[in-house]
Chains A and B, each alone.
Chain A
Amino acid sequence: MKEIVDIEWWRLGLSALAVVVLIALSRIIRLNLERSLAISALRGTVQLLAIGYVLTAIFSIKHPGLVLGTLLIMLTVAAWTAASRLPRRLPGMTFFASGALVVGMSISLFFMTEVVIGVEPWWDPQHLIPLGGMLLGNAMNAASLGGDRFQEELRSRRGEIETMLALGFSGPAALHPPLSRSLRAAMIPTINAFMVAGLVQLPGMMTGQILSGVDPLIAVKYQILIFIMLMLSTTTSTWLFLLLVRGRYITPAHQFRTELTMGTYSPSRRRK
């Protein structure tokens, strides 16, 4: 294995020149993106540096409680983000997202660290935190994509849903077609990423490993494992999340709660 090549701080600083160039360009061609460019570059840098120091601390303290605590914070942020991206925010959605994400992440994490890699100790922060973060981030995106689509389907396909209910279908059965379409839509990005893996671009984690000197074949093995585990956790989390959301839209008497689909949905008013 090659020596890991560190980047000197002043050399990293050179990349800031690119931001300056972009800001200048934005002003010249009136993109009106100067502020966003500056803020995102600054904010991203600060966040990443902070997490770098936090991770260094967590890796050196090596305490299971600290590792689980960190995962819990990550989970909370992911769940809140997924729920707040829904076009129609309803009470309990963050809770639903937390439950769905924790199940999806736990299954994949356990399988990866315990069954395949064999991490010692089981809570090793160097494995659990980056892997957990990757699983959560992807599941979060899939859950909010799926949730967005699901709520939109419930709004626009009221006629189909009520026709099925009128024909004697149960609430869950009548809401199944929108649910399955939403789950499929949410899974497309994850499936596409695996489909073209290595053909269009090298996945981020693999790129990082190769750049820091890891043998490409080892990096590939990790990447394959990650792709499979991502599919498992995103499907599990999104499916669970949609099932929980579906429960809010039907009553025990198999009535469709149309009051939750009306009125406030409008793309321009989203994310308020």
Chain B
Amino acid sequence: MTAPVFECRDVAAGHRTEGGGSKTVLESVNFVVDEAEAVAIVGASGSGKSTLVRLLNRFDDPVRGTVSFRGRPIQDYDPLEIRRKVALVLQTPVMFDGTVRDNLSMGPAGVTPPTEAAMRELLEEVGLATSLLDHSAEQLSGGEKQRIAIARALAGEPDAIVLDEPTSALDPKTAALVAKILNDLRSSRQLTLVFITHARELLALVAGRRFLVHDGRVDVDVSPERIEKFLEAGE
């Protein structure tokens, strides 16, 4: 049996405070995410959804408990290695100065940038024309930027991709497109997906499992009906 991609065991998580301590937001978090699973995380703003996903690429450390990646505690890995294996895509895509090519080939020293052919393939995977390579990244639309951000995260050949509300800034049509792209990536690349969302199109198309974050807890494998009830209450 292979080790799960992510495992949280008795995790308490929060955020660091100025003095070096921490304020706990989530208690007794326990879950396992297997290879190529898709997990949607739903919860009110401020409930600790971001706190939770930031543990998975070691942007933060848990207050207590163990977060493991492929059977080993995440602290045992080089943090920079974890960030390449677990790609994080932020809510607002950030494009750096230069062309789409510059953005796709951007990476730390010592890591080989993708080849020209690989960059074209990446663009095709996220449904963008290869002619965009020479375009200024700053001038793209919001949806295009988010797709470039996903392609850029894929360039490092990650095992898992974690997304913080990937479609919240997009119009419904573009959001549906991004949802489809993510779903295709999951099957084509055997990619493990963990994403925060409130978007029904993402939940319907991609989510294999649903977690609900509320009152300092994470309820694992919540029914679609309960998620729907939660979403309706928030509207």
Contacts and interface: CB of A to CB of B under 8 A. Distances in A.
Contact of A166 (B57, B75, B111): B57
A163 B111 CA distance: 16
Contacts of A253: 58, 61, 75, 79
Tell me which of A162, A168, A169, A254 has the highest count of chain B C-beta atoms within 10 A of its own C-beta.
Answer: A168
A159 B92 contact: yes
B108 A168 contact: yes
B176 interface: no
Contacts of B90: 159, 162-163, 166
B87 interface: yes
Interface in A245-270: 253-257, 259-260
Contact of B156 (A163, A167, A257): A167
B107 interface: yes
Contact of B15 (A166, A168, A254, A259): A259
B-side binding surface: helix, strand, loop or mixed? loop
A16 to B, nearest CB: 48
A220 interface: no
B17 A173 contact: no
Contacts of B18: 90, 259-260
B106 interface: yes
A162 B96 contact: no
B17 A166 contact: no
B94 A168 contact: no
B152 interface: yes
Nearest to B15: A259
A209 interface: no
Tell me which of A90, A255, A260 has the highest count of chain B C-beta atoms within 10 A of its own C-beta.
Answer: A255
B88 interface: yes
Contacts of A257: 16
A166 B61 CA distance: 15
A114 interface: no
Contacts of A170: 80, 108
B149 to A, nearest CB: 8
Contact of B96 (A160, A165, A173): A160
Contact of B107 (A167, A259, A260): A167
Interface residues of B, number: 31
Interface in B13-70: 15-18, 57-61
Nearest to A256: B59
Given A160-B94, A254-B79, A259-B15, A168 B107 contact: yes
Contact of A259 (B16, B109, B149): B16
B111 A259 contact: no
Tell me which of A163, A169, A173 has the highest count of chain B C-beta atoms within 10 A of its own C-beta.
Answer: A163
B108 A169 contact: yes
Tell me which of B59, B90, B107, B152 has the highest count of chain A C-beta atoms within 10 A of its own C-beta.
Answer: B59
A255 B61 contact: yes
B84 interface: yes
A167 B89 CA distance: 9
Contacts of B108: 167-170, 173
B107 A165 contact: no
Given A167-B156, A168-B156, A173-B108, A259 B57 contact: no
10 closest Cβ pairs, A-B complex: A166-B88, A163-B94, A168-B84, A159-B94, A253-B79, A168-B83, A169-B108, A254-B79, A259-B16, A168-B108
22 contacts: A159-B94, A160-B94, A160-B96, A162-B88, A163-B90, A163-B94, A163-B96, A165-B83, A166-B57, A166-B87, A167-B83, A168-B81, A168-B156, A170-B80, A253-B58, A253-B61, A255-B58, A257-B16, A259-B15, A259-B17, A259-B18, A260-B18
Given A160-B94, A253-B61, A255-B59, 10 more contacts: A163-B96, A163-B149, A165-B59, A165-B83, A166-B89, A168-B81, A168-B111, A169-B108, A253-B58, A259-B17
Interface of B: 15-18, 57-61, 75, 79-81, 83-84, 87-90, 92, 94, 96, 106-109, 111, 149, 152-153, 156
